[in-house]
Amino acid sequence: MNRAIVWFRRDLSLEDNQGWSLATTTAAEVIPTVVLDDRLLDAAGPFRRTQYLASVGALAQSITECGGALTVLSGDPAIALADLARELSADAVMWNGDVTRFARDRDSVTARRLRAGGVVVDTAWSTLVHPPRSVLTAAGTVSRVFTPYYRRWSDRPLAGHAEPGSATVLGVERDALPAHPDPPQAAGERAALTRLEQFQDHVDDYEHTRDRPDLNLTARISADLRFGVISPRVVVRAIGDSTPGRRAFVRQLAWRDWYAHLFAANPDLVDHCQQPAYEHIAWQDDPEEFAAWTAGVTGYPIVDAAMRELAATGWMHNRLRLITASFLVKDLLVDWRWGEQHFRRLLVDGDVPQNAGNWQWCAGTGPDAAPYFRVMNPIAQARRWDPDGAYVRRWLPELGLIPGAAVHAPWELGPLELAAAGVVLGDTYPGPIVDHAVARDRALAAYGAARAAAPSG
Ligand SMILES: Cc1cc2nc3c(=O)[nH]c(=O)nc-3n(C[C@H](O)[C@H](O)[C@H](O)COP(=O)(O)OP(=O)(O)OC[C@H]3O[C@@H](n4cnc5c(N)ncnc54)[C@H](O)[C@@H]3O)c2cc1C
């Protein structure tokens, strides 16, 4: 093959990139290309958009170091790529696959258009440890239970490092990358490798520290994986399995693959409960309570601190994602799809399969989800995982003078203690929007009724 366009999407790295390796070993010349698609950029929200553009910038830099240039196109990829292929007489366009409904529809339209113009389309998989449909039950399906999936996932040999071939890397002057503010995290492969390197100091304690937002000792590589600036197989190789902490960490990457594999089998998981009985839940969907949750003014300090950090930075620790999601769905009885959309827009790592998969897990509506009757108590969670209240005080300055774990339930303080901390409940900080014990009973009743009403109920 003479000349191939390589379409980079969520695989913004040249290292261990299966699609890049395929193209550079089979074509004499390659044209690395991105297509800025407003449908995706507009949906991304400010943090993810900036992180994406900065990651594309870092990829462009790596390509320049190989003697080429990144070609930047804008608009509908089906049209932009077909036009470029025609103009440059490219024989082929290659890319790494994706599992979401949007991506699959876009890719099939693009492939059809290219093939109609006589261009070969070839695809690989690179953004997961194991490709979709490679970890199946004996019946040929993706297990709906994580543990057996994980066993098969672990038994499957890891693909070798995908080496680039010897193709000449070309570049065509087209659009410029739009100017953007600094991204939430340093972008690009080198920055991701540095984060991974720093995490090596903590990974052996991962089991003990991973749930502590006050310590913040997780790897912080989800946005790197989201944009493919680092390959998940590079991460698995670097961490290995020599200690329980390392094994626990790699298991999280299996969760990531699992949600993607489930989506590859059923992309409707983004807006349909995997367990159909829960389509009958009578959600309250109170817009004012939802707005209080998004603004971080529910009166539950751990929820409010986490939601304010998300709004300010695009980041939230996994334990806090669990607590805030459970609070929205169970305590406020708001449809998980509202929360999923809010998170997806704001999270720097917002990613449909991971986000919707986890939201369904928290709501109890997904595969192998938390059982519906398990309702997280936000105060007990806060006391356990932010034992000194340091995380909450960081994000709620109005409670900054309440010492220790007392900050998690300011309504339990006496008038003198509140006065000493300068807190006036209902004024400087809201009282609790719901009573957790009452809300819990309401949630159990709503879930119970949905189960009873379902055909199999
Ligand atoms: C309601 C909710 C929504 C979420 N939305 C997203 C999302 O949009 N994008 C996203 O990447 N993650 C999402 N997660 C999963 C998880 O919270 C983040 O991946 C994690 O917090 C990223 O931080 P880290 O890289 O420091 O994680 P670490 O603890 O260091 O884990 C390493 C990697 O393992 C993977 N991982 C860890 N936990 C999970 C998990 N529960 N599910 C799937 N993969 C996991 C991630 O790729 C992560 O980067 C969500 C979790 C919940 C509960």
Count other C-beta atoms under 10 Å from residue 28's C-beta.
14
Same domain, 288 and 431: yes
* Whether the predicted pLDDT of 457 surpasses 70: no
DSSP structure string for 312-381 = HHS---HHHHHHHHHIIIIIS---HHHHHHHHHHH-TT--HHHHHHHHHHHHT-STTPPPTT----HHHH
pTM for this model (two decimals) = 0.97
Same domain, 231 and 317: no
**206 C-alpha vs ligand 1 centroid, how far in Å?**
14
Which sign, positive or negative, has the C-alpha torsion 48, 53, 57, 60? Answer: positive
Residue ranges of alpha helices (H) inside 89-209 are 101-116, 146-155, 189-199, 206-209
Q: What angle is formed at CA 322 by the lines to CA 216 and CA 318, rounded to 5 degrees?
A: 25
**Dihedral of the alpha carbons of 58, 61, 63, 68, in degrees to the nearest 10:** 150
Residues 237-267: tens digit of each pLDDT: 999 999 999 999 999 999 999 999 999 999 9
Same domain, 14 and 115: yes
**Position 171 in a domain:** no
Query: Of the candidates 217, 246, 265, which is a domain's last residue?
Result: 265
CATH number assigned to the domain comprising residue 208: 1.25.40.80
Region 203-224: mean pLDDT is 97
- Of all atoms in ligand 1, which is nearest to the CA of residue 344? 8
Q: CA–CA separation, 150 vs 146, rounded Å?
A: 6
Same domain, 74 and 154: no
**Position 341 in a domain:** yes
Element (H, E) at 451: helix 436-453
Q: Are 69 and 61 in contact, with CB atoms under 8 Å apart?
A: no
Same domain, 60 and 150: no
Give, using CA atoms, the residue closest to atom 43 of ligand 1. 256
Give, using CA atoms, the residue closest to atom 36 of ligand 1. 252
Residues 77-102: tens digit of each pLDDT: 999 999 999 999 999 999 999 999 99
**Position 247 in a domain:** yes
Average pLDDT score over the chain: 96
**What pLDDT, on the 0 to 100 scale, is given for residue 297?**
98
* Whether the predicted pLDDT of 445 surpasses 50: yes
* Whether the predicted pLDDT of 455 surpasses 80: no
**Position 228 in a domain:** yes
Distance of CA 194 to the CA centre of its chain: 20
CATH number assigned to the domain comprising residue 105: 3.40.50.620
* Residue 427 exposed, middle or buried by CB count within 10 Å (0-12, 13-18, 19+): exposed
Domains contained in the chain, number: 3
Same domain, 140 and 101: no
Give, using CA atoms, the residue closest to atom 39 of ligand 1. 252
Q: CA–CA separation, 186 vs 423, rounded Å?
A: 37
Dig out the tokens for 455 from the structure. Answer: 């055909």
Answer yes or no: is the C-beta of 10 below 6 A from any ligand 1 atom.
Answer: no
Phi, psi torsion values for 31, nearest 5 degrees: -120, 95
**Position 172 in a domain:** no
Helix axes 336-346, 318-326, angle to 10 degrees: 150
Query: Of the candidates 265, 292, 327, which is a domain's last residue?
Result: 265
**Position 182 in a domain:** no
Same domain, 209 and 250: yes
The contacts found for 285-293 with CB under 8 angstroms, 24 or more apart, are 285/333, 285/334, 285/335, 285/338, 286/332, 286/334, 289/332, 289/334, 289/433, 289/434, 290/328, 290/332, 290/334, 290/338, 292/430, 292/433, 293/324, 293/327, 293/328, 293/332, 293/334, 293/339
- Of all atoms in ligand 1, which is nearest to the CA of residue 322? 53
Q: CA–CA separation, 258 vs 322, rounded Å?
A: 18
* Whether the predicted pLDDT of 369 surpasses 80: no
Q: CA–CA separation, 61 vs 190, rounded Å?
A: 11
Answer yes or no: is the C-beta of 359 below 6 A from any ligand 1 atom.
Answer: yes
For residue 123, the SS3 value is: strand
Give, using CA atoms, the residue closest to atom 37 of ligand 1. 252
Look up tokens 């909450």; give the residue. Answer: 392
Q: CA–CA separation, 144 vs 261, rounded Å?
A: 10
Residue 117: which residues within 8 A CB-CB, separation 6 or more? Answer: 82, 85, 86
Give, using CA atoms, the residue closest to atom 47 of ligand 1. 222
Cα separations in angstroms, 257 against 124, 353, 445: 16, 9, 34
**Position 271 in a domain:** no
Mutation to probe ligand 1, out of 195, 201, 212, 222 (largest number of atoms < 8 A from CB)? 222
Q: Domain span at residue 342? A: 276-453
Same domain, 316 and 197: no
Same domain, 234 and 330: no
Residues 31-40: tens digit of each pLDDT: 999 999 999 9
Same domain, 292 and 390: yes
Query: Of the candidates 111, 126, 141, which is a domain's last residue?
Result: 126
Answer yes or no: is the C-beta of 325 below 6 A from any ligand 1 atom.
Answer: yes
Same domain, 282 and 398: yes
Same domain, 308 and 372: yes
**Position 169 in a domain:** no
CATH number assigned to the domain comprising residue 424: 1.10.579.10
